[in-house]
Amino acid sequence: MTQPPIPCRTALVLGGARSGKSRYAQALAESFVGEWVFVATAQALDEEMAERIARHRQDRDARWRTREEPLDLVAVLRAEARPGRVVVVDCLTLWLSNLMHARRSAEAEVAGLAAAVVTLEAPAIFVSNEVGLGIAPAHALGREFRDVQGRANAALAGVCDVVVSMNAGLPVLVKPGPRPNLRLA
């Protein structure tokens, strides 16, 4: 028996590297009848990243309109999230890295994003890496980034209607999720 679709206006798609997050978010957006806007946060700071960006662009056809914004995500969302559109933000991990590199307060920016998400005038899908499942990074900056990323994911998960975790290319619905029926002895 197939389950009916879960109505949602906002979704967060989490997962590890190469888990299918972007592909899933794109397919979810393409089920929307209307305009599709892709907000890219990556910057081509080296040849390898330029190649990754080019591959991602090739995955989207001409029906997609792309906005590139490495830092001012809330402003772009407010400008692009209009009725009749769906916006995909890919990805929050690179956005956070950009913010930290620019010495901007990631915590303040994430709080601003979480506040903005609930007021958007169009459906929005956010892609983010789950970086806290592995070993602790050896360096302080890596640990700081892991912590900032974890708090950002939690903040967005709290305000998005749906959270999906991509595991080995398979989507696992996290929110709304089952409520345990615990009995304390």
Mean pLDDT to the nearest integer, 154-177: 94
Residue 1, pLDDT score:
44
**Integer Cα distance of 11 and 139 in angstroms:** 32
pLDDT at site 179: 63
Q: Is the pTM of this model over 0.85?
A: yes
Is residue 6 predicted with pLDDT exceeding 90?
A: no
Confidence of residue 178 (pLDDT cuts 50, 70, 90): low
CA-based nearest residue to 121, from 87, 98, 154: 87
Of 10-14, 103-107, 139-143, minimum mean pLDDT range: 139-143
Is 70 exceeded by the pLDDT of residue 182? no
pLDDT in tens, 51-83: 887 887 878 888 999 999 999 999 999 999 999
Which one-letter amino acid corresponds to residue 57?
R
Winning range, highest mean pLDDT, from 30-34, 58-62, 136-140, 163-167: 163-167
The arithmetic mean of pLDDT across residues 21-41, rounded, is: 93
Taking the C-alpha atoms of residue 36 and residue 63, their distance in angstroms, rounded to an integer, is 7
Positions annotated as catalytic residues are: 56
Which token pair is 128? Answer: 């983010």
As a whole number of angstroms, the distance between CA 84 and CA 34 comes to 5
Tell me the domain boundaries of the chain.
10-175
CATH of 10-175, one of 3.90.1300.10, 3.40.50.1100, 3.40.50.300, 2.40.33.10: 3.40.50.300
- The reported pLDDT for the residue numbered 3 is 52
Residue 123: which pLDDT band, with cuts at 50, 70 and 90? very high
